[in-house]
Structure 1
Amino acid sequence: MSETSAIPPQLGTLESALYVDDLDAAVGFWQGVIGLPCFQRVPNRHAFFRVAESPRPQVLLVFRAEVTEHPPAPDARLPVPPHGTRGPGHYCLAAAPETLDRWRTHLEAAGIAIEADFHWPNGARSIYFRDPAGNSIEIADPAIWTA
């Protein structure tokens, strides 16, 4: 590969998106149960949640899919192309391994059914459950991705 065709570096994931039908239920879950601050909301369209501030901002975008599937108006100030999906997606939050028992207790106290709670072959643990839209949500020890 020549120097001019080298792949440029990237910094990591900045934002991830999930799609829902009931935005109010999503805000109640992500803010009230998971504790992510909602920093932007457009009623009946989207809610954006702050996941982390450093070392770089990380954001969870929650959209009503049927609204984001349409192209922007020709005079749109922000001409974001159509996007969205149907059916359940997946999102994983990282948590320190020593907090996973507390997370499980917290989720169960909030009436959230735990679908799976197990250790990967390397010993790292994941807890799986569903958000109100049916998306598969995981809270995991970041070590799940280490050798």
Structure 2
Amino acid sequence: MEFIQIKETCLYINDLDKAEKFYHNNLGMPIISKEINRHIFFRCGSSVLLCFIPETTQKESSLPAHFAKGKQHIAFEVTAKEYENRKNELINLGIEITHEQEWKDGLKSCYFEDPFGHVLEIVPKGIWE
């Protein structure tokens, strides 16, 4: 099998308004869809970030049931030139950088958390190449 990319990624949350404030207002992701007590979806480059209320989606009948618990992880890619700017934007928003990792070729990534405790990461393009 050959895939082009992961088109959508999902996080499970407990407050749609808090997710909207963080991902839309702070990180600037456009909202695609919001359904009270179920989900909020964001555009992230050519991908989609799905945020679901797990108590709702684990009882799905029209789609396969899905849910998760605990600290989930996703990484957002930026250009290598913009890495420091994006990291500084997070800091200026009052978002704590919990860890910065140096990888091959001197590339760095930084970790931070969303309001739900999920581990998010900013990675420069080329880190997996």
Larger radius of gyration: 1
Q: Structure 1, unaligned stretches of length 5 or more?
A: 1-7, 73-78
State the distance in 1 between where 2:23 and 2:128 align. 24
| Alignment of structure 1 residues 7-18 onto 2, 5 Å | 8-18=1-11
TM-score by structure 2 length? Answer: 0.93
**CA offsets 1:93-122 (integer angstroms, 9 cap, x no match):** 100112122112211111111011232033
Number of residue pairs aligned between Structure 1 and Structure 2: 129
The corresponding residue for 2:18 is 25
Opposite residue 44 of structure 1, the aligned amino acid is N
Q: Secondary structure at the match of 1:35?
A: coil
TM-score by structure 1 length? Answer: 0.82
The corresponding residue for 1:81 is 64
**CA offsets 1:112-136 (integer angstroms, 9 cap, x no match):** 1101123203322101000011000
| Alignment of structure 1 residues 1-147 onto 2, 5 Å | 8-53=1-46, 58-72=47-61, 79-146=62-129
State the distance in 2 between where 1:19 and 1:12 align. 21
Runs (4+) off by over 6 Å: none
On the 8 A contact 2:54/2:68 being kept in 1, the answer is: yes
State the distance in 2 between where 1:101 and 1:28 align. 23
Compute the RMSD of aligned alpha carbons: 1.2
* 1:118–1:9 distance in 2 versus 1, CA, 3 Å: closer
* 1:59–1:33 distance in 2 versus 1, CA, 3 Å: same
State the distance in 2 between where 1:98 and 1:130 align. 23
Q: Secondary structure at the match of 2:71?
A: coil
